[in-house]
Structure 1
Amino acid sequence: MLSPLEKKRIFEIDRVKLPIVFDSNKILEEIRKLNLETFEYYDVLPLRAPAYLVDTSLPFPAPVGDYADGSWTEWMDTKTFQGCPYINEVVNTFKQHTTVNLVRILRLSGNSVVKEHTDPTLALEEEKSMIRLTIPVTHNPECQFILNGRLVDMKPGECWYLKLNDPHKVINEGNSERINLTIDLIPNKWIVDLIYKSIG
């Protein structure tokens, strides 16, 4: 694993573009085939979620502690996800190396804002937690993701680690929706080393 000095450095970095690029057009094509309903403001489509939400015949997890790393429940692919072969390929890029829990498609409509907030458990330095990887699918120049007061210039198909326990917001002043694919996973040596080696 990383030395204390390396850990200190990686914990201080709030954005890292990983050296992995996906085909955003293929992702978008699969999303379009889902014929998703029209929406106002913000829409979330879970592709992988807590098992009891995917299969409602399963019991609610026993109260063993609401750990932010997702160990409080089993996780399951949705039927929608099973019909998205390329998005499965994308997720399997990480699943073969570490545990993937939550996978979602996030849509933000045009002329909309996600107000500044923090996600207290989504960062490498948080113990018993997950981290979130963000893969932009669509974008327009008038849509900005602001982290710690600075623009994160993410392009479609790129894969980013963002320190989301820091303040962030999204401002979409364009007319078209913004679509992201997000993958929440449990950090291990493989992903930590990849993130560290990707620091510019």
Structure 2
Amino acid sequence: MKKYAKLPIEFEVSLLQQELVICAAAWTDHFNTGYYTGNWSGIPLRSPQGKNHSISAGNSSSVDFADEAILAHLTYTRSVIDAIQAPKSAVRYLRLTPGSEIKPHKDFDLVFWDGFVRLHIPVLTNDQVKFSVENEILNMKEGECWFADFSKTHSVINHGETDRVHLVIDCQVNDWLRELFVNAGVIQPDESAPTEMETYDNATKLMIIEQLEAQGTKKSLAIAMNMREKMNTESLSPK
């Protein structure tokens, strides 16, 4: 599975920008104050029931979500959200002002194989925004729709002179979304969830290999050799 990908759908960004102005007075500071410096704020369009105007993330199937009243005035934005034909939880505009930074972190509850993903649609951005996933920069353009595996280390810095605003949609994986990911090359048609061993980083795998080799048994040495061969094959495979 790829760590990130531009999905094969795009939207009319000028219409999104026009409707963003309608709710421009509704920005709320992000609640994860330890995650950023500067100004990171949001406008909820769909939030947990009973928590009006909450920009909480939506990665739980046990929580009911409902549209915010302002969404009724955002006709095109509504159509963009509806174009994502998967069950949706939280939907928000998230803004990062010039000079602000979202620090490196992981969202462990956003895993495709566990049934939850987050999509980003840039509405306002500039070429000085550095959005990285595991130290790889994503070149997101306005109006595009992107997936990233946010359970991996990611960060954002806005080095530009204008706001960076994304429409962020949290949704549950269904057949429609899985087919979209297959078409985008995010996953292979017959791909399944990785084993626990496959989720380990290379440093952890090497530590396990060394421990197996230290045991010196025929079985442990065979397992260690198999792991090394697989790591070598993966390092030669195109990303």
User: Is residue 26 of structure 1 aligned with residue 15 of structure 2?
Assistant: yes
Contact 2:26 2:43 in 1 (8 A): no
When the two chains are superposed, the root-mean-square deviation of aligned CA atoms in Å is 1.8
Tell me the secondary structure at the aligned position of residue 137 of structure 1.
strand
Amino acid at match of 1:103: V
Q: 1:174 aligned to 149, 160, 180, which one? A: 160
Q: Deviation per CA, 1:6-44, whole angstroms, max 9, x where unpaired? A: xxxx2xx10111110001111111011223267761111
- What is the match of residue 90 of structure 1? 80
Tell me the secondary structure at the aligned position of residue 71 of structure 2.
helix
Please tell me whether the aligned partners of residues 126 and 164 of structure 2 are also in contact (alpha carbons under 8 angstroms): yes
Q: Specify every segment of 5 or more residues in structure 1 that has no aligned partner in the other structure, as ranges.
A: 1-9, 56-67
Normalised by the size of structure 2, how large is the TM-score?
Answer: 0.68
- The one-letter code of the counterpart of 2:102 is V
Are the aligned partners of 2:59 and 2:170 in contact in 1 as well (CA < 8 Å)?
no
Which one has the bigger helix percentage? Answer: 2
Q: Alpha carbons of 1:36 and 1:84: their partners in 2 closer, same or farther (altered >3 Å)?
A: same
Instruction: Tell me whether 37-46 or 101-110 shows the greater mean CA deviation.
Output: 37-46
Match of 1:99 among 78, 87, 98: 87
Q: How far has the Cα of 1:123 moved from its partner?
A: 2.3
Higher relative contact order (CA 8 A, sep 6+): 1
Structure 2 residue aligned with 1:160:
146
Q: Does 1:77 align with 2:75?
A: no
CA contact (8 A) 1:123 1:162 kept: no
Larger radius of gyration: 2
Return the alpha-carbon distance in structure 2 between the equivalents of residues 143 and 124 of structure 1. 26
Query: What's 1:43 paired with?
Result: 41
* Structure 2 residue identity aligned to 1:41: N
AA partner of residue 75 (structure 2): P
Q: Secondary structure at the match of 1:122?
A: coil
The residue that corresponds to 2:51 in the other structure is 53
* Greater displacement, 31-40 / 181-190: 31-40
4+ runs deviating over 3 angstroms = 37-40
Q: Percent identity?
A: 28
Q: Which runs of 5+ in 2 are unaligned?
A: 30-37, 187-239
Aligned to 1:16: 5
The structure 2 residue matched to 1:137, chosen from 106, 123, 126, is 123
Equivalent AA in structure 1 for residue 161 of structure 2: N
C-alpha distance 69-141 of structure 1, shift in aligned 2 (>3 A): closer
The structural deviation recorded for 1:72 is 1.8
Match for residue 194 of structure 1 among 171, 180, 183 = 180
Q: How far does the alpha carbon of each residue in 1:135-174 deviate from its partner, in whole angstroms, 9 at most, with x for none?
A: 0011111111011101001100000111000000001111
Give the partner amino acid of 1:111. Answer: G
* Residues 135, 181 of structure 1: 8 Å contact kept: yes
Tell me by how many angstroms 1:49 deviates. Answer: 0.5
1:63 is matched with which residue? none
Is the contact made by 1:26 and 1:86 (CA closer than 8 Å) also made in structure 2?
Answer: yes
Give the aligned length.
Answer: 173
The answer for the alignment partner of 1:61 in structure 2 is none
What does residue 6 of structure 1 align with?
A: none
Deviation at 1:69, TM superposition (A): 4.5
